[in-house]
Structures are given as structure tokens and as C-alpha cells.
Structure 1
Amino acid sequence: MTEYVLRFIAGGVIVSMFSILGDMLRPKSFAGLLGAAPSVALATLGIVVVQHGPAYAAAESWTMIYGAVALACYSVVVCHLLMRFYLAALPATIIALVVWLAVAFGLLAGLGGAA
């Protein structure tokens, strides 16, 4: 239970810091970019370091990087399907989800995951 409270507090503090940073930057669209994902990842890594040590946190950070690469591939595929092939949003996201899964699990299987 205390882990969830700690994660909630750490995530809230880090989200607030990223929101302030995003509010200071121009254009304002950076505020959404810096909103939740980086702060949740940092809070999670901080808790993992305390509970399992830095080696385990390093392995976990690699899986986060693989997920980010897969998300970038997903985004590119969605953009191409929507803009070039004029697919509707639902089929484009379903097709791109398959790409995301293939890239994420391919990187995990090929390069390794958490210890």
C-alpha cells in the first residue's frame, strides 16, 4: 500500500515539475508532450531503484526505451495510413497497433529485457 502512495506522490510532484517546464516553453504544445509519460517513468524508475537496486532499474529503463521506439514506429505508421492511404482512424490504429506490438516484442526478444 505504501508503494502506491509513494508512487502517487512522486508522480504528482514530477508531473507538476514537467507541467511548469512545459508552461515555460514555446510553443504551448510542449506542455502536453511533457505532461504525464516522462514523469510517470521517472517516478517508477525511482521506486524501482529503491526497491530492487540500480541494475534492475537499468534493465527496466531499456524496456521503456524499447516501448518508446515502438511508439515512434506506431506514430509514423498511423500518420502514413491516415494521410497517404486515407484510411479511417479505427482501421489505421488497429493496423498500427500490430506494428507497435511487433516492434516492441521484436526489440525485447532481440535485445533483451528486464532481469
Structure 2
Amino acid sequence: MTEYVIRFIAGGLLVSAFATLSDMLRPKSFAGLLGAAPSVALATLGIAIVQHGAQYAAAESWTMMYGAVALACYGLVVCQLLMRSRINALPATTVSLAVWLVIAFGLLTAFGGAN
């Protein structure tokens, strides 16, 4: 239970800090880049370092990067399907979810994650 409270507080503080930082940047479209995901990832890695050590947190950070690459590919495929093929959002996101899974687990299998 304590871990969740710490994660909640750390995540909230980091989200607020990133929101303040993004509010100062121009253009305002940067605000989405510095939203919740980076701050929650930092809070998670901080807790992982405290509870499991730096080696575990390093492995966890690699899996986060694999997921980010897969998410970028997912977004690219969704955009292409919506704009070029002009299919509805549900089929486009469903097909792209399969792309995300293949890329994420393919990177994890190829390069590993946990030691």
C-alpha cells in the first residue's frame, strides 16, 4: 500500500513539474510531449531503484524504450490507415495494436529486458 502512495505522490509531483515546464515552452504543442508519461516513468524508475536496485531499474528502462518504439510505430500505422486507406478508427487501431504487440515483443525477444 505504501508503494502506491509513494508512486501517487511522486507521479503527481512530477506531472505538475512537467506541466509547469511545458507551459513555459513555445509552441504549446510541446505540452503533450511532457505530459503524464515521462513523469510516471520517472516515478516508476525511482521506486524500482529504491526497491530493487539500479540493475533492475536499468532493465525496466530498456523495456520502456522498447514500448516507446512500438508505440511510435503504432501511431504511424494508425495515421497511415486513417488517412490513406480511409478506414474507420476501430479497425485501424485494432490492426495497429497487433503491430504494436509484434514490435514490442520482437524487441524484447531480440534484445532482452530483464536480467
| 1:113, distance to aligned residue in structure 2 (A) | 1.3
- Distance in 1, Cα, partners of 2:111 & 2:73: 17
Letter in 2 for 1:83: M
- Distance in 2, Cα, partners of 1:77 & 1:6: 36
Say whether residues 1:89 and 2:70 are aligned partners.
Answer: no
- Distance in 2, Cα, partners of 1:114 & 1:25: 36
Instruction: Tell me the alpha carbon deviations over residues 62-115 of structure 1, each in whole angstroms, 9 at most, x when there is no partner.
Output: 000000000000011001101111111111000000000000000011110123
| 1:26, distance to aligned residue in structure 2 (A) | 1.2
Q: Which sections of structure 1, spanning at least 5 residues, go unmatched?
A: none
The aligned length equals: 115
- Distance in 1, Cα, partners of 2:14 & 2:73: 27
Q: Which sections of structure 2, spanning at least 5 residues, go unmatched?
A: none
Name the counterpart of 1:80.
80
Q: Tell me the TM-score normalized by structure 1.
A: 0.97
Within 5 A, what are the aligned runs for 1:39-54? Answer: 39-54=39-54
Name the counterpart of 1:108.
108
- Distance in 2, Cα, partners of 1:22 & 1:11: 16
Worse overlay, 53-62 or 28-37: 28-37
- Distance in 2, Cα, partners of 1:26 & 1:85: 34
SS in 1 for 2:49: helix
Instruction: Give the superposed CA RMSD.
Output: 0.7
Instruction: Tell me the alpha carbon deviations over residues 41-76 of structure 1, each in whole angstroms, 9 at most, x when there is no partner.
Output: 000000000000000100000000000000000011
- Distance in 1, Cα, partners of 2:114 & 2:5: 24
Name the counterpart of 2:57.
57
SS in 2 for 1:28: coil
SS in 2 for 1:84: helix
| 1:32, distance to aligned residue in structure 2 (A) | 2.0
- Distance in 1, Cα, partners of 2:35 & 2:107: 26
